[in-house]
Chains A and B, each alone.
Chain A
Amino acid sequence: MKACGPVNQLIYEFESRNGNKTLGSLKIENIRKSFGQVDVLKGIDLEVKDGEFVIFVGPSGCGKSTLLRVIAGLEDATSGDILIDGKKVNNTPPAKRGIAMVFQTYALYPHLSVRDNMGLGLKQAGKPAYEIKERIGIASNMLSLGDYLERRPAELSGGQRQRVAIGRAIVREPQLFLFDEPLSNLDAALRVNTRIEIARLHRQLKATMIYVTHDQVEAMTLADKIVVLNRGRIEQVGSPMALYNSPQTVFVAGFIGSPQMNLIDATKLGQSGAKTIGIRPEHIQVSKTSGEWKGSVIHVEHLGADTIIYLQTDFGPLTVRLFGEHNYDVDGVLYATPDAGRTYRFDNEGQVIKA
């Protein structure tokens, strides 16, 4: 979908009517959440500026969805404060927080048409009919949903349903958009398209967006700022490239980047002063004749643009990513050499050791 003339006009109206209303900052202060004996969030502090696209990423059970639900007001925090646009909203119901949420399962109302799905929230808020109609018009134009307004969710494809869910969020003109793994129910091709669409929406609406995913590719491609969560704590906050280039902990180093960073026991390499040595697969060169580490080829994956080689070495498995096409025989001997200055050293607590 291209942003053509009339759509730009609509977006202009959308922005000008809202003034600064679509912009919202978020501040989270020492949020804790326990379910019975289980501590899911163990003290989260975070600040999100107006118009930022922030992504919470982490493995299953790290608390990222719970944190999003606490921000939305669907769960109460055990302790701590949530401030949206500088106002404490701990006791404000979800509908009054100025937020909109897009769910993984779309969560469209099955018995309502697309139009009523998008309009329900505004109707509940007591907005006049002409305004509801106008806002639905704008949102459905932005998302090319104009032809489907009278249909029921059951009559739409997965991608269209997700667009309706996003449209339902847009018409609310929230200060804060919350996305809970919105792409994980879509197939691969649609996922890429919808990802681009969300990025475009963020540029057009200039709204603050918080997005939860377990897919680091989504996180790297969409975010201004990534928040890596692990076991209910924030591991690191930073831009995608900051996380890639200077991970602060072993966890972040292993989580960001694909294929995963090689994490090698330092003692096996005979290095002292560190517990773990990290080296990304793309920062290793191989040679058939000489090199720092000797290994035998276990498996080779040809991806066209990349070739990924799995080696077995004296200190364990090693993954190497080469650009372009390369042919190596399985069981053959290869020597691997890490790029100078591209290795990371981590201490016993998993913290990075500054060189």
Chain B
Amino acid sequence: MAKPTASPVRTGLVHLALIIYTLIALFPVFLTVINSFKDRSSIFRDPLGLPTPSTFSLIGYQTVLGQGDFVLYFQNSFIVTGVSIFFVLLFGAMAAFALSEYRFRGNTLMGLYLALGIMIPIRLGTVAILQGMVAAGLVNTLTALILVYTAQGLPLAVFILTEFMQTVSDDLKNAGRIDGLSEYSIFFRLVLPLVRPAMATVAVFTMIPIWNDLWFPLILAPSDATKTVTLGSQVFIGQFVTNWNAVLAALTLAIVPVLVLYLIFSRQLIRGITSGAVK
């Protein structure tokens, strides 16, 4: 039996709604990208026009890359985002495993406590964090950013991963125990591969706010050696003059790594679904 198909009108309307949403979501990105390839006057004269041979210009990219520091800024952003994601996934998954696997006193309370961070924005504690970092001598280091972002990402990671880990079959973990795997092996070799889709979801949710963040780099690590891309782009936005070519070029470049990481993780999302451990 084929499953009943919805009427073409209905499917058409659903697609129309989704297409409109996609267009709205992509429009600012599209504007940023096309304008980054135009010269300054045509950006203002015809902001919606595609670059033509007469208006095409790479001046923005030349400015950005000519500044030299931008390679370093990219590197900083990569290090901060990458290391933070790694720690968020590692510690988040470990906490989630403990919460879902072991029965102990205060289990639920601990879970709620760890999830509390979802509701309270970490920026409320900026002053205290800054004081702490100053006291610890971590101001203007990437470590400071990594610590803050790890703390920021953990609550959601623990929350999502706990739910997923509860779906991993107990029998599988017990089979591992009977085969002599240690609890660490069970975690790393049996459970983690099975919750990979959830890990990818968490990675995407964690990555984007970190990569785009301006607040903490500005406050904790504004030195030239530790600037991230988002902070670095700000040099082109002046109080009186803004170098739009350079800003748009920098933003376009900043989109690329996120896009690549997203594609990697979304492939993981699909691959994780196709495993067949348990009937």
Partner-B contacts on A (CB < 8 A): 69, 72-74, 93-96, 99-101, 103-111, 120-121, 124-125, 152-154, 158, 161, 168, 172, 180, 185
Contact = CB atoms under 8 A, between A and B. Distances in A.
Contact of A103 (B174, B181, B193, B274): B174
Given A111-B275, A124-B180, 8 more contacts: A73-B177, A95-B181, A107-B277, A109-B176, A109-B189, A121-B179, A152-B276, A153-B277
B276 A153 contact: yes
B87 to A, nearest CB: 24
12 contacts: A69-B174, A93-B180, A101-B174, A101-B178, A103-B175, A105-B169, A105-B278, A107-B175, A107-B277, A108-B175, A125-B180, A180-B171
B273 to A, nearest CB: 11
Interface of B: 169, 171-172, 174-181, 189-190, 193-194, 274-279
Given A121-B179, A154-B274, A103 B279 contact: no
Contacts of A111: 193, 275
Q: Which of A74, A152, A154 gathers the greatest number of chain B CB atoms within 10 Å?
A: A74
Contact of A109 (B172, B177, B274, B279): B172
A298 B109 CA distance: 56
Contact of B178 (A94, A105, A109, A152): A94
A195 to B, nearest CB: 18
B193 A104 contact: no
A72 B274 contact: no
A107 to B, nearest CB: 4
Nearest to B103: A35
Contacts of B193: 110-111
B137 to A, nearest CB: 44
- Kindly list the 9 A-B residue pairs having the minimum CB-CB distance in the complex, ordered from nearest: A154-B276, A95-B180, A110-B277, A121-B179, A124-B180, A107-B171, A103-B171, A107-B175, A110-B275
A110 B194 contact: yes
B177 A107 contact: no
A107 B172 contact: yes
A276 to B, nearest CB: 39
Contacts of B169: 105, 107
A69 B194 CA distance: 24
A124 to B, nearest CB: 4
B171 A109 contact: no
B174 A105 contact: no
Contacts of B179: 95, 120-121, 124, 168, 172
A109 B190 contact: yes
A207 to B, nearest CB: 16
Q: Which of A69, A107, A154, A185 gathers the greatest number of chain B CB atoms within 10 Å?
A: A107
Contacts of A94: 174, 177-178
B82 to A, nearest CB: 25
A347 to B, nearest CB: 41
A112 to B, nearest CB: 9
Given A95-B179, A101-B174, A106 B275 contact: no
